[in-house]
Structure 1
């Protein structure tokens, strides 16, 4: 059976009906839900197993039959651990149908079908009784319902329902307890992701609107691999605070709650953000602990376990506030059933505000709804700004008529500040248009940029007052872009606007190049690596289901990843492999490129890293990937502002580093789809 579904094409801006099998979405979900990073997390698995064995032993010591409830079983691994540890029966609940089917296959393959029942439901829909999903209530509950924020996947309401309806009281829980920690910091790097900063533009100064400075920002958590943020880029203003704990063996409430930690400031500075993580105590004594702390908190960073399913959190305070050394401070965290937020009070504020509820952060300036956190960082990057300003300075004239084509971009504002005769900007989003207008108003430049809320193909000469465009500019940045080459949407806009350009019009950027390097990942390879056997259990049916789903898709694809969070080594040189000339119209025929890059360093190649570089002028370029040369050892430094593309190899290639083998590549840009088809092979030279 075939069905039509609408598929967005970020590079072209089009949304076309595509004929797909009725099983397309099913296979897409399986392909994207690979649990490899969790199954490869030996530290997590080992500590869960230790906690499960201890819980089963405690119940048996009381002379009771051990009945386990495993909520969110995934592959069924924890249920199999429970039965191996001596549990009499296990109810394994999994709401995601493909995973429930995978769990059934895995449980059967390992010979546990008689003692493990897979229930394909949400746990809040599970019933108990002679005709129910469970014959009796459980006396041991095992869960892995946690995300980076601990409670973001609905752990609290799931536990609350389970204690009321599915569990005996008292019961044993694995994990037994979770504890959230937080630390107050000042960090120019982190704060650059929260607020627009003043910037120097061609001898002038651009300031953010006052409303942005007063705005509490987006309320969603900023989850990152904090291990990759140097502690030297943060001033730790206070000690690591224990904010609150949840005992999962007792009834849990999902109601809104607040917790406060009081401490004395270690040093003076500007309180801007709170860094946070949590630990799991697998047993009541706290002797088996699974920690999410960043690697730089360990005495030896190399022994810290790597996880991508659980990272660390950054919470931005509603406003930065001065802190003096020795000052008494109160850090408050408030949470509902799915999220947390923080507030800070100094000693002078505590008396009058102690009982006031901490309001949930809410964006009132619209900027935090238009710009993502990496986008804030990009706009605040002074070196990047200087590159664009230098490029504009070289092309602007007194009679320049400029048109900006990017989402929520400040380039049109820059062009006006630098003396362009007339500046227009295309904005598809009304909200983005209003944010740029706020910036203009805050800098007394009302009307300096005509904001046009139309698509490029809809723009007419009348919209430009009969003027022809002499400078077409873009960063390019588009909110719909996922992969690096999706920003080629700028090229499609440039082509649509050809009739409105002067014959000698400047296109900025004038070109873009797709770049690649073959890499060995320190840890990221785990998310796509087959598991086969995990902690002594055969989980190959999961690998097989994922592989079938990948094969179901007509072509293998690259994935977007922020590589600054995932260290890797370059095994080949970095190279430009495809060029897109924006001074010309999009061609009718595909563009192809083939070649090879010799392996010059020894290692195991896990994949190909891909990124775009934008050539603003003949001598000014901006990279959305590698920033700076690769070190002699192959260490790479990646832009924090954009995600790069990663093409994972199904089987890693071994490199001896003697140049006798190479990564061969083949790229084809399809103008009709705006997509790039790619293929890579390891070959001997």
Structure 2
């Protein structure tokens, strides 16, 4: 029997950096590190517990990730799956970032000294520092005392050791498997460092623990007045008007415009259903044509890495508007000055800043880069309808920085605008959803589709018990609105008690009588006839929407099918199921920016990273026998995109039957000439089979993520087979199979019968 000793009692959950996916995927999303005590040996070795969540059931379990021998070339499947969902690969494929860091490190390290690398990842910055150290020393330094790399996540630390070994750097760099703010002087490192290199930055700048890491580094790890790479970071912002951004947070105004009788956010409780007040990372360049700029860029905060940062500060900004309009959002980005001389920069600014002829407020044009996914712009939504302003008006903006984030307040002459105060009536009833979910709840076509399909279904029979099996407060209100006699039972597996309190608070506005809706605090697998008062269910309905699963792969919402299957004994003979069917579709696309960000790694600024490809989930330029992962993306935000074929049906999921293995095959004929980088997959939900009411989650929708499977090598395509050159193809075949046990979708593609996955 194994026994475990908790290594750091105060730090039970150790979340690796650069996680971009929701917690309800079938991947390990959080880690507890332990020291394992052998009963036969006094030597301790590290292992990890990781949380594995099943997307078809919502169940979770802790699994033990064993530490393998460092000589073992095999990477465990759990570690491989996890790191493939992070943004490490995209970051390492960012040539502008890599080159800027390399040049800055070369300019900063001018003599032999101690260098620390915080959040070392694969060790790229550490190797850059070690190489420069050899040059300034005039000889190779192999005692590991000059460069110390901190990396707390065990699988990434093991990958770093492999990378260092491949580059003959294992003796030059000392690895410490701790967070930098846990490191103790004299225990983990021998002396304060003269130079610090780091890249613990997210799209907001502060979200990966930059401030506490810098504070601890200056207090414990660094000499006084150290050198740092980066040297400085400056955050910029711009006031914008955008009807699309308004829809992502202002559900009340959208409901007023739709006027369908439903009130998810009734008057007087406008903020009871909304988004969390925070900055959201988005590819704002993708919506540049829909954005009206209301000001010039303005400077917000500046951070000098060579100085200990403050935990909190507030500043007042007075911004002159350049156009009439309504301020719906504040878009922000940052510029890194990587060296102290001010010659090397990197910027995350949107494309309209990069292409602007007037660079007075944003002078470092050399720091701009091509599309990347690991750093985006950030959007702060101005609450409710925004703030009306006229040209040449002075807007008073308050910026607040705490230890992990930055927020904003617009101020009027009388003080902070009322729209920023939480509605006292909301209390604990408020539900925070992602902006895309708020956007789709305010979408007229989406609401009309469900209203029409539900109305047609209810008119077709006498329904006594209707069961909402997902987290849809929207459909619960729809059923109560359309039927005055049916008893509505809702499960709310993710929202739980909050959804029940929310429904109570909006019942009057939606003319819902007391007792019409019952919320069961049970899993579907635990339901019995006793919970249904001895009656069988006449109707099952779902969007399907599971809270916390918004960013998952499309087929992971087939949890609805699994739960409908578990309910089989409780269903009436003529039960109606909505949606009644799911249709898996695909189309071929040109995705040069996304493919470039996911391509396999080889030489990065002179260092071989090819051993990282499988573990990081590389797709492009892999050996044909290697299979890259299918990952979820908002395709419309993936840089340059072009559809090269019509949407093709691959397989159908019939929800009138129990969940089962499904297989499908289709031929995709290219309709446009170009370069195919991969295929995009999604599910169309058929609500009403008779009237063919369909909700599509394909690339045309901005509110859903699609699954993207990239080719190992881009392929030239031409729809006219008779004129195709030998290096062009006119069609492809896709085979897919769905496993009802794991929820996995296995996809294979044959380009003119030459298998590429």
TM > 0.5 fold call: yes
> In structure 1, how many angstroms separate the alpha carbons of the residues matched to 2:60 and 2:615?
30
Deviation at 1:242, TM superposition (A): 0.7
Q: Name the structure 2 match of 1:324.
A: 389
The 5 Å alignment of 1:28-47 reads 28-33=81-86, 35-47=88-100
Match of 2:401 among 335, 340, 344: 335
Match of 1:9 among 54, 66, 80: 54
Q: Name the structure 2 match of 1:79.
A: 126
Please say if residues 431 and 502 of structure 2, whose CA atoms lie closer than 8 Å, have aligned partners that are also in contact.
Answer: no
1:384 equivalenced with 2:457 (yes/no): no
The 5 Å alignment of 1:646-661 reads 646-659=708-721, 660=729
1:427 equivalenced with 2:494 (yes/no): no
**1:196-222 deviation line (CA, Å, top 9, x unaligned):** 322577853536133343788514431
Deviation at 1:153, TM superposition (A): 0.9
Deviation at 1:431, TM superposition (A): 1.4
The 5 Å alignment of 1:291-302 reads 291-299=347-355
Q: SS of the counterpart of 1:664?
A: strand
Question: Gapped runs of 5+ residues in structure 2?
Answer: 3-47, 68-75, 138-145, 358-364, 722-728
Q: Name the structure 1 match of 2:210.
A: 155
1:262 equivalenced with 2:330 (yes/no): no
**1:498-517 deviation line (CA, Å, top 9, x unaligned):** 55555444332222101112
Q: SS of the counterpart of 2:507?
A: helix
CA root-mean-square deviation: 3.9
> In structure 1, how many angstroms separate the alpha carbons of the residues matched to 2:514 and 2:693?
30
Please say if residues 274 and 433 of structure 2, whose CA atoms lie closer than 8 Å, have aligned partners that are also in contact.
Answer: no
Question: Gapped runs of 5+ residues in structure 1?
Answer: 627-636
Q: How many residues align?
A: 657
Please say if residues 370 and 432 of structure 1, whose CA atoms lie closer than 8 Å, have aligned partners that are also in contact.
Answer: no
Q: CA 1:651–1:324 in 2, change beyond 3 Å: closer, same or farther? A: closer
Please say if residues 479 and 488 of structure 2, whose CA atoms lie closer than 8 Å, have aligned partners that are also in contact.
Answer: no
> In structure 1, how many angstroms separate the alpha carbons of the residues matched to 2:302 and 2:84?
35
> In structure 1, how many angstroms separate the alpha carbons of the residues matched to 2:348 and 2:410?
24
Deviation at 1:249, TM superposition (A): 1.8
Match of 2:474 among 368, 391, 410: 410
Q: CA 1:423–1:143 in 2, change beyond 3 Å: closer, same or farther? A: same
Please say if residues 180 and 245 of structure 1, whose CA atoms lie closer than 8 Å, have aligned partners that are also in contact.
Answer: yes
Please say if residues 264 and 474 of structure 2, whose CA atoms lie closer than 8 Å, have aligned partners that are also in contact.
Answer: no
Q: CA 1:332–1:477 in 2, change beyond 3 Å: closer, same or farther? A: same
Q: CA 1:362–1:383 in 2, change beyond 3 Å: closer, same or farther? A: same
> In structure 1, how many angstroms separate the alpha carbons of the residues matched to 2:606 and 2:423?
46
The 5 Å alignment of 1:377-526 reads 377-397=439-459, 399-401=462-464, 402-428=466-492, 429-447=496-514, 449-453=516-520, 454-459=522-527, 469-479=537-547, 481=549, 482-498=552-568, 501=571, 503-526=573-596
Q: CA 1:484–1:545 in 2, change beyond 3 Å: closer, same or farther? A: closer
1:230 equivalenced with 2:288 (yes/no): yes
Match of 2:649 among 576, 581, 590: 576
Q: Name the structure 1 match of 2:21.
A: none
> In structure 2, how many angstroms separate the alpha carbons of the residues matched to 1:114 and 1:564?
45
Q: Name the structure 1 match of 2:142.
A: none
Q: Name the structure 2 match of 1:315.
A: 380
Q: Name the structure 2 match of 1:102.
A: 159
Q: CA 1:405–1:266 in 2, change beyond 3 Å: closer, same or farther? A: same
The 5 Å alignment of 1:238-253 reads 238-253=295-310
Please say if residues 430 and 502 of structure 2, whose CA atoms lie closer than 8 Å, have aligned partners that are also in contact.
Answer: no
The 5 Å alignment of 1:606-625 reads 606-617=677-688, 618-625=690-697
Deviation at 1:152, TM superposition (A): 0.9
> In structure 2, how many angstroms separate the alpha carbons of the residues matched to 1:416 and 1:200?
21
Please say if residues 275 and 433 of structure 2, whose CA atoms lie closer than 8 Å, have aligned partners that are also in contact.
Answer: no
Q: CA 1:54–1:212 in 2, change beyond 3 Å: closer, same or farther? A: same
1:287 equivalenced with 2:332 (yes/no): no
Q: Name the structure 1 match of 2:117.
A: 70
